[in-house]
Amino acid sequence: MNLALVLASLLFVLAACEGGIRLLQWSGQLPVYNKKSIDKGETPNRHLNARLVRSDNPVLFMEYDRNDPNINNAGFRGPDFTVAKTPGTTRIAILGDSVAYGYSVAYEDTFAARLAQQLNARGNGLVEVLNFAVSGYSTIAELELYKTRVREYDPDIVLLAYVLNDPLPAAFVVQSVGAARQQVDLFKVLSRYSQLGAWAYLRWQKLVQPFDRQRNYRSMYSNPESWQRTVAALAELQQLVRDDGAQLYAVVFPLLLDFGQYPMQDIHAQVNGALAQLGIPHIDLLDDYRQIPYLELRPHPNDDTHPNARGHAIAAGRIAGLLRP
């Protein structure tokens, strides 16, 4: 009898809370929770994010679908380009992952496109910027791509866009994306039946996500084997680029977190220290991005990795300054 009373009381409280949440939503004080609330890919520009397929190269692991309308004749993003370089042209090749690709950003707003515009506006000869970035690539995969594809395009400058998750193998990134998709699907079902449950889930995620993020990134950079593989890949890339008569530069992208309490400062110091020790000219965008509220740099409220068009514009300006000599 007492148990039935407790259960009935609990159901009554939950129903009342559910009704309260929906009343607040009806009055506009709370948003309606659905798939878009959690799915970082649900942006107005989601159709610009190219499909990935399995690569025959096990190091690369994946590559873009050549049939995707966002992909050019070479298998990458941007206008079609040829292997042969026009005489007198300065050719810049960009290596990177989804950040350099311009995830959820129109191509003309990516730092690659903006960089080409700014450099050509100087009137010092034609500059080509070829974007070889592929979503999910690690530093090791970017090195492999340079060996197998990029160097044949004879770039004068190679620009590496370094993101803090670059020590992760591409296969692990694919697994993470798959887990995130499952999370989105479960949330979609939950929100369909209970807005209270969806609200509670989002509150819980907001509470635990910072701890999970810091633990994952700390393990990535404190693991000597993982970090040394990344540094070795950077050193080999630099040597290959030099052997090819070109110059390697790097730009470090921060995570889009609360810059007032930014938790990755020591990781930036570790990355910048390695680049400096290798003699790779580079810039870190952390100080530039921290001038702007971090949510204003995100393409989706939940996306803490990919800068929006405003973030790309800032990056283009800084990179143009880096390449000024």
Residue 40 belongs to a domain: no
CATH number for the domain harbouring residue 263 = 3.40.50.1110
Residue 41 belongs to a domain: no
Residue 15 belongs to a domain: yes
Range with lowest mean pLDDT among 123-127, 136-140, 193-197, 274-278: 193-197
Q: Which two tokens stand for residue 180?
A: 């995130």
Cross-sheet strand order for the sheet of 90-95: 127-131, 90-95, 157-163, 247-253, 282-284
Identify which of 61, 43, 279, 245 has the alpha carbon closest to the alpha carbon of residue 151.
Answer: 245
* Structural domain boundaries, residue 14: 1-30
Amino acid, res. 25: Q
150, 9: one domain: no
Residue 106 belongs to a domain: yes
C-alpha span between 62 and 54 (Å, rounded) = 4
pLDDT, mean of residues 219-229: 88
C-alpha span between 312 and 46 (Å, rounded) = 17
This prediction has a pTM of: 0.88
- What does the pLDDT look like over 56-66, one tens digit per residue? 999 999 999 99
If one counts the domains in the chain, the total is 2
59, 125: one domain: yes
What is residue 78's three-state secondary structure? coil
Contacts with 75 (C-beta within 8 Å, 6 or more apart), sequence order: 63, 64, 66
Of the ranges 101-115, 163-177, 219-233, the best mean pLDDT one: 101-115
Residue 23 belongs to a domain: yes
117, 248: one domain: yes
Residue 39 belongs to a domain: no
Residue 156 belongs to a domain: yes
273, 240: one domain: yes
| CA pseudo-torsion sign 207, 302, 212, 258 | negative
Q: Looking at the predicted structure, is the pLDDT value of residue 110 above 80?
A: yes
143, 23: one domain: no
- Determine the length of the chain: 325
Residue 90 belongs to a domain: yes
Q: Which two tokens stand for residue 8?
A: 């009935």
148, 104: one domain: yes
233, 302: one domain: yes
pLDDT-based confidence at 203, cuts 50/70/90? Answer: confident
Helix (H) or strand (E) run with residue 260 in it: none
17, 53: one domain: no
Q: E strands along the chain, which residues?
A: 52-54, 62-64, 90-95, 127-131, 157-163, 247-253, 282-284
pLDDT, mean of residues 255-261: 94
106, 17: one domain: no
Phi, psi of 113 (to 5 degrees): -70, -40
C-alpha span between 110 and 107 (Å, rounded) = 5
Helix (H) or strand (E) run with residue 191 in it: helix 170-193
20, 158: one domain: no
Say which DSSP state 218 is in: H
234, 135: one domain: yes
146, 105: one domain: yes
C-alpha span between 95 and 80 (Å, rounded) = 17
Say which DSSP state 251 is in: E
First to last CA, the chain: 83
pLDDT for residue 173: 66
**Mean pLDDT, all residues of the chain:** 89
- What does the pLDDT look like over 64-109, one tens digit per residue? 999 999 999 999 999 999 999 989 899 999 999 999 999 999 999 9
